[in-house]
Protein backbone atom coordinates (compact mmCIF):
# COMPACT_ATOMS: atom_id res chain seq x y z
CA UNK A 1 0.00 0.00 0.00
CA UNK A 2 1.36 3.39 -1.02
CA UNK A 3 0.49 6.15 1.44
CA UNK A 4 0.76 9.92 0.94
CA UNK A 5 1.17 11.92 4.14
CA UNK A 6 0.50 15.65 3.79
CA UNK A 7 2.24 17.51 6.61
CA UNK A 8 0.76 20.76 7.92
CA UNK A 9 -0.50 22.33 4.68
CA UNK A 10 -2.19 25.02 6.78
CA UNK A 11 -2.94 28.69 6.25
CA UNK A 12 -0.54 30.00 8.92
CA UNK A 13 2.38 28.41 7.06
CA UNK A 14 1.37 29.98 3.75
CA UNK A 15 2.40 33.43 2.45
CA UNK A 16 0.67 36.02 4.63
CA UNK A 17 0.26 33.54 7.48
CA UNK A 18 1.52 33.92 11.02
CA UNK A 19 4.56 31.71 10.37
CA UNK A 20 4.84 31.80 6.63
CA UNK A 21 7.08 29.46 4.69
CA UNK A 22 8.34 31.24 1.56
CA UNK A 23 6.29 30.17 -1.47
CA UNK A 24 4.54 27.56 0.64
CA UNK A 25 1.37 27.87 -1.44
CA UNK A 26 3.23 26.72 -4.57
CA UNK A 27 3.22 23.10 -3.41
CA UNK A 28 -0.60 22.86 -3.18
CA UNK A 29 -1.17 22.12 -6.91
CA UNK A 30 1.64 19.56 -6.78
CA UNK A 31 0.08 17.80 -3.78
CA UNK A 32 -3.30 17.79 -5.50
CA UNK A 33 -1.81 16.10 -8.56
CA UNK A 34 -0.04 13.51 -6.42
CA UNK A 35 -3.05 12.37 -4.42
CA UNK A 36 -4.70 10.12 -7.06
CA UNK A 37 -1.48 8.09 -7.31
CA UNK A 38 -1.86 6.74 -3.77
CA UNK A 39 -3.94 4.04 -2.10
CA UNK A 40 -4.29 6.10 1.07
CA UNK A 41 -3.98 9.83 1.75
CA UNK A 42 -3.70 11.19 5.27
CA UNK A 43 -2.72 14.56 6.73
CA UNK A 44 -1.23 16.08 9.85
CA UNK A 45 -2.33 19.35 11.36
CA UNK A 46 -0.61 21.63 13.86
CA UNK A 47 -3.31 22.24 16.47
CA UNK A 48 -2.02 24.46 19.26
CA UNK A 49 -3.79 25.88 22.31
CA UNK A 50 -3.33 29.64 22.80
CA UNK A 51 -1.04 29.09 25.79
CA UNK A 52 1.33 26.83 23.87
CA UNK A 53 4.91 26.72 25.15
CA UNK A 54 6.37 27.33 21.67
CA UNK A 55 4.79 30.79 21.33
CA UNK A 56 7.19 33.65 22.07
CA UNK A 57 4.31 35.73 23.42
CA UNK A 58 3.94 33.25 26.28
CA UNK A 59 7.50 33.93 27.55
CA UNK A 60 8.02 37.31 29.19
CA UNK A 61 10.93 39.21 27.70
CA UNK A 62 11.58 36.68 24.92
CA UNK A 63 11.43 37.36 21.20
CA UNK A 64 10.25 35.30 18.25
CA UNK A 65 12.85 32.84 16.92
CA UNK A 66 14.89 32.92 20.14
CA UNK A 67 15.87 29.52 21.54
CA UNK A 68 15.30 28.43 25.13
CA UNK A 69 15.62 25.20 27.10
CA UNK A 70 12.40 23.55 28.32
CA UNK A 71 12.99 20.53 30.56
CA UNK A 72 16.24 19.78 28.78
CA UNK A 73 14.83 20.14 25.27
CA UNK A 74 15.83 22.99 22.95
CA UNK A 75 12.75 25.02 22.04
CA UNK A 76 12.54 27.63 19.30
CA UNK A 77 10.04 30.35 20.16
CA UNK A 78 7.67 30.87 17.25
CA UNK A 79 5.04 33.45 16.40
CA UNK A 80 1.64 32.24 17.62
CA UNK A 81 0.36 29.97 14.85
CA UNK A 82 -2.17 27.25 14.03
CA UNK A 83 -4.27 28.00 17.09
CA UNK A 84 -7.11 25.53 17.49
CA UNK A 85 -10.33 26.42 15.65
CA UNK A 86 -8.87 29.44 13.85
CA UNK A 87 -8.58 30.15 10.14
CA UNK A 88 -4.80 29.94 10.46
CA UNK A 89 -5.06 26.30 11.53
CA UNK A 90 -7.29 25.40 8.57
CA UNK A 91 -5.86 23.67 5.52
CA UNK A 92 -5.09 25.87 2.52
CA UNK A 93 -8.43 26.45 0.77
CA UNK A 94 -7.14 25.06 -2.55
CA UNK A 95 -5.90 21.80 -1.02
CA UNK A 96 -8.04 18.92 -2.21
CA UNK A 97 -9.18 17.30 1.03
CA UNK A 98 -11.77 14.87 -0.42
CA UNK A 99 -9.33 11.95 -0.52
CA UNK A 100 -7.89 12.57 2.97
CA UNK A 101 -9.00 9.57 5.01
CA UNK A 102 -7.66 10.65 8.41
CA UNK A 103 -6.17 13.75 10.06
CA UNK A 104 -3.65 13.47 12.89
CA UNK A 105 -3.38 16.58 15.06
CA UNK A 106 -0.21 17.47 16.90
CA UNK A 107 1.06 20.11 19.29
CA UNK A 108 -2.16 19.90 21.29
CA UNK A 109 -0.45 19.85 24.70
CA UNK A 110 0.39 23.33 26.03
CA UNK A 111 3.63 22.11 27.62
CA UNK A 112 5.53 20.52 24.74
CA UNK A 113 6.01 21.14 21.03
CA UNK A 114 5.42 18.52 18.36
CA UNK A 115 7.17 18.82 15.02
CA UNK A 116 6.71 15.20 13.99
CA UNK A 117 3.41 13.72 12.93
CA UNK A 118 4.24 10.65 15.03
CA UNK A 119 5.39 12.01 18.42
CA UNK A 120 5.94 15.14 20.45
CA UNK A 121 9.52 16.44 20.58
CA UNK A 122 10.33 14.48 23.74
CA UNK A 123 8.76 11.28 22.37
CA UNK A 124 6.48 11.13 25.40
CA UNK A 125 3.17 11.09 23.57
CA UNK A 126 2.20 9.35 20.35
CA UNK A 127 -0.32 10.81 17.94
CA UNK A 128 -1.46 7.30 17.05
CA UNK A 129 -0.20 7.65 13.47
CA UNK A 130 2.25 4.73 13.66
CA UNK A 131 -0.39 2.37 15.03
CA UNK A 132 -2.90 3.48 12.40
CA UNK A 133 -0.45 2.79 9.57
CA UNK A 134 0.70 -0.53 10.98
CA UNK A 135 -2.90 -1.69 11.38
CA UNK A 136 -3.37 -0.99 7.67
CA UNK A 137 -0.12 -2.85 6.95
CA UNK A 138 1.26 0.23 5.24
CA UNK A 139 5.00 0.28 4.73
CA UNK A 140 5.73 2.64 1.82
CA UNK A 141 5.12 6.21 3.00
CA UNK A 142 5.54 9.33 0.87
CA UNK A 143 5.81 12.73 2.55
CA UNK A 144 5.07 16.27 1.39
CA UNK A 145 4.08 19.56 3.00
CA UNK A 146 5.45 22.25 5.30
CA UNK A 147 7.95 23.08 6.49
CA UNK A 148 10.34 20.74 4.73
CA UNK A 149 13.24 21.36 7.10
CA UNK A 150 11.19 21.04 10.29
CA UNK A 151 7.89 19.19 10.59
CA UNK A 152 8.22 17.18 7.38
CA UNK A 153 11.79 16.09 8.13
CA UNK A 154 11.03 15.22 11.77
CA UNK A 155 8.10 13.11 10.59
CA UNK A 156 10.19 11.29 7.98
CA UNK A 157 12.92 10.49 10.51
CA UNK A 158 10.37 9.15 12.99
CA UNK A 159 8.92 7.02 10.18
CA UNK A 160 12.37 5.51 9.65
CA UNK A 161 12.70 4.80 13.37
CA UNK A 162 9.28 3.12 13.33
CA UNK A 163 10.40 0.71 10.61
CA UNK A 164 8.54 2.25 7.67
CA UNK A 165 10.04 2.90 4.24
CA UNK A 166 9.75 6.69 3.91
CA UNK A 167 10.16 8.72 0.75
CA UNK A 168 10.45 12.51 0.85
CA UNK A 169 9.01 14.24 -2.23
CA UNK A 170 11.30 17.24 -2.10
CA UNK A 171 9.56 19.49 -4.62
CA UNK A 172 6.24 18.93 -2.84
CA UNK A 173 7.78 20.63 0.20
CA UNK A 174 8.96 24.14 0.98
CA UNK A 175 11.43 25.01 3.74
CA UNK A 176 11.84 27.83 6.21
CA UNK A 177 15.61 27.50 5.84
CA UNK A 178 16.98 26.02 2.63
CA UNK A 179 20.38 25.16 4.07
CA UNK A 180 18.78 23.25 6.94
CA UNK A 181 16.57 21.44 4.43
CA UNK A 182 19.60 20.41 2.40
CA UNK A 183 21.19 18.96 5.55
CA UNK A 184 18.06 17.12 6.66
CA UNK A 185 17.59 15.60 3.19
CA UNK A 186 21.11 14.21 3.41
CA UNK A 187 20.39 12.93 6.92
CA UNK A 188 17.29 11.12 5.64
CA UNK A 189 19.33 9.48 2.87
CA UNK A 190 22.07 8.49 5.34
CA UNK A 191 19.46 6.84 7.57
CA UNK A 192 18.07 4.79 4.68
CA UNK A 193 15.20 6.95 3.45
CA UNK A 194 14.66 8.10 -0.13
CA UNK A 195 14.38 11.62 -1.57
CA UNK A 196 12.68 11.97 -4.94
CA UNK A 197 10.92 14.48 -7.19
CA UNK A 198 7.16 14.53 -7.76
CA UNK A 199 7.57 13.57 -11.42
CA UNK A 200 8.90 10.18 -10.32
CA UNK A 201 5.48 9.51 -8.78
CA UNK A 202 3.46 11.14 -11.56
CA UNK A 203 5.11 9.23 -14.43
Helix (H, G, I), strand (E, B) or coil at 190: helix
Judge whether 76 lies within some domain: no
Nearest CA-CA partner of 114 in 79, 155, 142, 85: 155
Report the percent of the chain where pLDDT is more than 90.
Answer: 96
Q: What is the CATH number of the domain that holds 122?
A: 3.40.50.850
Judge whether 64 lies within some domain: no
The catalytic site residues sit at 8, 106, 151
Question: What is the pLDDT of the chain when averaged over all its residues?
Answer: 96
Q: Which domain holds residue 15?
A: 2-51+82-202
Dist CA 177 CA 90 (whole Å) = 23
Judge whether 69 lies within some domain: no
Residues 75-85: pLDDT tens digits? Answer: 999 999 999 99
Judge whether 105 lies within some domain: yes
Please, how many CA atoms are within 13 Å of residue 179, restricted to the half-sphere of its CB? 0
Judge whether 65 lies within some domain: no
Helix (H, G, I), strand (E, B) or coil at 137: coil
Judge whether 57 lies within some domain: no
Of the pLDDT bands very low, low, confident and very high (cuts 50, 70, 90), residue 72 is confident
Judge whether 67 lies within some domain: no
Task: Please report the DSSP string for 29-87 in residue order.
Answer: HHHHHHGGG-SEEEEEEE-B-TT-TTBGGGSTT--TT-EEEETTEEEEPBPS-SBTTSG
Report how many domains make up the chain: 1
Residues 24-61: pLDDT tens digits? Answer: 999 999 999 999 999 999 999 999 999 999 999 999 99
Beta bridge mates, 166: 141
Of the pLDDT bands very low, low, confident and very high (cuts 50, 70, 90), residue 108 is very high
pLDDT attached to residue 73 = 86
Judge whether 16 lies within some domain: yes
Amino acid sequence: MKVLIIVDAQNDFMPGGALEVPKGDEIIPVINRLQPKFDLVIATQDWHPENHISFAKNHLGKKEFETIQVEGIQQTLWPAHCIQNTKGADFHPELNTIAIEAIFRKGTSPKIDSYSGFYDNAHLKSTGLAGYLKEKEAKELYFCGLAGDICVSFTVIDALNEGFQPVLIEDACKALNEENFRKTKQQIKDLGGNVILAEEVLE
